[in-house]
Amino acid sequence: MAGGSELLIEEGQGEVRLVRVQGNGCVVLKQGSGFRLTPEQAAFIRIDGQAYRGDVEVFVNPLGTAVVVNELPIEEYLKGVVPLELGPKLFPYAEALSTQAIAARTFAVVHLGTRAGRGFDLYGDTRSQVYGGVAAEDPLSDQAINKTRGLVSTYRGEPIVSLYSSTCGGVTEAFDLIFRGEPIDYLKGGVTCFDQDSQYYSWKETIDLDEIQESLNRYAGVGRLVRLLPIAYGRSERTVEMEFVGSAGTKMLKGNDIRFALGLRSNLITDMDAVEGSDGYLRQIRVEGRGWGHGVGLCQMGAVDLARKGRTYDEILRHYYPGTAIAKWY
């Protein structure tokens, strides 16, 4: 395929998807079929106008979904991830960017092979890590990636679950209380963090419940809300269990589902007032809170603060993932 060619993906009916390669007419793919595109030397393949390093595979996976996979070495993938997860223009701190590079590399390594049935390893968005291809790349994050080439965070010799989020709001939280898995030794939470400079350190929101009824239905499914009762708190004082009482029943939500249901930036709620309508249903909630994201593991704004204070990437990683080491994985 010549450099500069365009690949345009169109959704079709049922299990068949249309894929058009500009200049080469139209290819119709059926389930189980596909093709691979390899760019000529030093050229990039463009998908919907965006340039990507490496090869592109297009196929219909066993689930009947049309999949476009950008296949490339981890180090090249990271060039399109690190600057979107921690912006080098806003945060030009080498040690913070190196910290982000190692966390993102570890995340990628851990997920290799985990979605074999779907035909790829990682999503290109927040379901895995945000990936923007060539357009996202920045010399400062490239430097951080090159300097830490092959390095991952490990615990007892294995790459860790390197969760990270924007702003923990002062203290990190335990993995099992937010993600509801088994407890993880290096993700117990309670790590002190100085992220007051983050614009999301503290926030105030007035939420009209009419506007979030869809997410309430998806996560709670109790109809119109009558009452919200915080039940349990984590080490960072995040609300980790909350009872949702509604017109159609009562449901206990745990961990991340609480903030997803209410459309909040984080579970670290410091104050909440509910406004009741004349019909007895809640009309509005006024919430004050701290942080943005799940607050488990590495805090990106805290890493920026530590880097600014002269701490190195290994010190920062071991601060947020206590008991871990850094190892050369390849």
**Interface pick for Zn ion out of 299, 304, 306, 317 (rule CB under 5 A):** 299
Q: How far is the CB of 299 from Zn ion (least distance, A)?
A: 3
Which long-range contacts does 257-264 make (Cβ < 8 Å, 24+ apart)?
Answer: 257/219, 260/215, 260/219, 261/212, 261/215, 261/216, 261/218, 261/219, 261/220, 262/207, 262/212, 262/215, 262/216, 262/287, 263/207, 263/212, 263/215, 264/205, 264/207, 264/289
Q: Which is nearer to Zn ion, 70 or 172 (CB)?
A: 172
Segment interacting with Zn ion (CB under 5 A) among 89-97, 103-111, 165-173, 280-288: 165-173
Query: How many of the chain's residues bind Zn ion (CB under 5 A)?
Result: 5
What would the DSSP string read from start to end of 198-223? STTSEEEEEEEGGGGHHHHHHHT--S
Q: In this chain, which of 168, 209, 258, 307 binds Zn ion, going by CB under 5 A?
A: 168
CB of 163 to Zn ion, least distance (A): 13
Smallest Cα–Cα separation from 132: which of 93, 92, 77, 87? 77
Instruction: Kindly state whether residue 307 participates in binding Zn ion, applying the rule CB under 5 A.
Output: no
Binding Zn ion by CB under 5 A: which of 80, 83, 246, 302?
A: 302
The answer to whether 104 and 83 have CB atoms below 8 angstroms apart is no
Residue 53 or 238 having the CB closest to Zn ion: 238
How many CB atoms neighbour CB 295 within 10 A?
A: 32
Least Å distance, CB 166 to Zn ion, is 9
> Does 298 help bind Zn ion (rule: CB under 5 A)?
no
Q: Is 305 in the site for Zn ion (CB under 5 A)?
A: no
Regarding 78 and contact with Zn ion (CB under 5 A), the answer is: no
Between 19 and 161, CB nearer to Zn ion:
161
Please tell me whether residue 173 binds Zn ion under the rule CB under 5 A: no
* Measured CA distances, 78 to 74, 104, 109, 206 (Å): 6, 7, 11, 37
Does residue 255 touch Zn ion according to CB under 5 A? no
Cβ pair 215, 253 in contact under 8 A: no
Task: Quote the least distance from Cβ 85 to Zn ion, whole Å.
Answer: 15
Please identify which residue in the block is written with the tokens 């670290």. 268
- Which positions lie near Zn ion, rule CB under 5 A? 168, 193, 195, 299, 302
